[in-house]
């Protein structure tokens, strides 16, 4: 499922580019994914949270986004279903609902309902996931085809 991991890089980059202006405007607490990724990195390395995203926090975000594309690729391959835009967006919203919403307080120690920016970060996060799903569905076939050709010609 390495192809699934690779397929998640571009959607995660696109999502991050979309979220960056909101990070600049509101700081790390205004972008749930970056807040959680930075907190995960701080907890794993016993580093003090600096209230901003570090290079390693961003790397953690990229790894998470790439890992979360694997179930999508696995489902597409297993069910022999074409990766439609609608399916990609539905998958991304399910990921958002199942992985981000229930664990935010556990990871960050802060309730989503008590965010200083109200509901706005939730909208940014949800729309970021829609972008992720759209790009994942669109980039899946070329990425997997490229990976397949690469592994065939390299003998891996």
Convert the pLDDT of each residue in 115-144 to its tens digit: 999 999 999 999 999 999 999 999 887 777
Structure-token pair, residue 64: 């998470």
Convert the pLDDT of each residue in 82-111 to its tens digit: 889 999 999 999 999 998 889 999 999 999
Alpha helices in 46-110, H assignment, sequence order: 55-67, 70-79, 85-95, 104-108
Distances (CA, A) of 55 to 37, 59, 122, 146: 11, 6, 23, 28
**What is the rounded CA–CA span in Å between residue 126 and residue 129?**
5
Sequence ranges of the domains in the chain:
2-154
The predicted model scores a pTM of: 0.89
Distances (CA, A) of 69 to 16, 21, 36, 89, 110: 15, 24, 18, 12, 26
Convert the pLDDT of each residue in 57-85 to its tens digit: 999 999 999 999 999 988 998 999 888 99
């Amino acid at each position: 499922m390495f192809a699934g991991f690779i397929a998640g890089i571009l959607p995660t980059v696109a999502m991050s580019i979309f979220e960056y202006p909101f990070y600049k405007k509101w700081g790390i607490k205004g972008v749930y994914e970056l807040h959680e990724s930075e907190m995960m990195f701080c907890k794993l390395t016993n580093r003090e949270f600096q209230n901003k995203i570090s290079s390693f926090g961003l790397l953690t975000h990229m790894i998470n986004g790439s890992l979360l594309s694997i179930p999508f690729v696995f489902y597409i391959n297993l069910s022999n279903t074409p990766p439609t835009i609608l399916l990609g967006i539905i998958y991304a919203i399910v990921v958002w609902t199942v992985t981000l919403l229930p664990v935010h307080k556990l990871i960050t120690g802060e309730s989503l309902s008590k965010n200083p920016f109200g509901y706005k970060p939730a909208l940014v996060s949800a729309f970021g996931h829609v972008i992720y799903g759209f790009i994942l569905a669109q980039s899946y076939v070329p990425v997997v085809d490229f990976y397949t050709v690469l592994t065939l010609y390299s003998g891996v």
